[in-house]
């Protein structure tokens, strides 16, 4: 039975990099965002149900994220409807991944781990963090969003301090070497817990 380690952290905190470090240590990694991309792609399980509720969101037999975004901007209830379709499908994707994995530890990269209550299904949780200044600089360096978009995303996520308080482990991603050492410490701790369980 694989150990389920939930990985979360706010935008720009270094979650994707930390997930790669776990993968380098032999962990299987499931990515919630990648699962949504699969569900929205042509032939994906979310295309038909979303198309039934929001026909204008389907472009070339796939769900258009841009169209969904504009629907959500116009109708505050649209997000709840979309989530009610997508969250169960994401859960099925995660369950299928877990049943196929043979690794000792499976890292489940879930941006809204605490917000969606998915932490209850984990054996332990990790929160990645960095100073607010570094976080903002990282996001702005990507050049994919403006300050208002960044603030809007932050407003939807639990504050970093609350995530850190709720997590079993915290990884500070100030440098790659520091993050790598902390990932190793976490895996050693999990191994010790399993050996003495």
* DSSP codes, 103-147: SSEEEEE-TTTTTTTGGGG-SEEEEEE--HHHHHHHHHHHTS--H
> Strand 58-59 relative to strand 62-63: parallel, antiparallel, unpaired?
antiparallel
Q: And the tokens for 84?
A: 């009610």
- The domain 1-27+106-197: what is its CATH number? 3.40.50.300
95-127 burial: b if 16+ Cβ within 10 Å, else e: eebbeebeeebbbbbbbebbeeebbeebbbbbb
Q: What are phi and psi of 90, to 5 degrees?
A: -65, -40
pLDDT at position 53 is 94
Segments of the chain scoring below 70 in pLDDT: 197
> Strand 124-129 relative to strand 3-8: parallel, antiparallel, unpaired?
parallel
pLDDT at position 116 is 86
pLDDT at position 145 is 86
- CATH 3.40.50.300 in the chain: give the residue spans: 1-27+106-197, 31-102
Q: 43's torsion region: left (phi>0), alpha (psi -120 to 50) or beta?
A: left
pLDDT at position 197 is 64
- Homologous superfamily of domain range 31-102: P-loop containing nucleotide triphosphate hydrolases (3.40.50.300)
* pLDDT cut 90: percent of the chain above it: 78
């Amino acid at each position: 039975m694989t150990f389920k380690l939930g990985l979360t952290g706010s935008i720009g905190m270094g979650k994707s990099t930390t997930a790669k470090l776990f993968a380098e240590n032999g962990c299987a990694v499931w990515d919630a965002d990648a699962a949504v991309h699969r569900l929205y792609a042509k032939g994906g399980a979310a295309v038909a149900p979303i198309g039934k509720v929001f026909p204008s969101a389907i472009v070339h037999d796939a769900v258009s994220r841009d169209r969904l975004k504009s629907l959500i901007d116009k109708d505050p209830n649209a997000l709840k409807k979309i989530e009610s379709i997508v969250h169960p499908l994401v859960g099925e994707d995660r369950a299928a991944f877990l049943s196929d994995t043979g690794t000792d530890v499976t890292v489940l990269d879930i941006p809204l781990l605490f917000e969606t209550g998915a932490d209850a299904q984990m054996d332990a949780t990790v929160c990645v963090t960095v100073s607010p200044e570094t976080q903002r600089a990282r996001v702005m360096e990507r050049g994919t969003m403006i300050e208002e978009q960044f603030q809007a995303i932050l407003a939807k996520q639990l504050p970093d301090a609350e995530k850190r308080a709720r997590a079993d482990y915290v990884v500070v991603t100030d440098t790659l070497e520091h993050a790598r050492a902390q990932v190793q410490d976490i895996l050693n701790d999990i191994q010790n817990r399993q050996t003495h369980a």
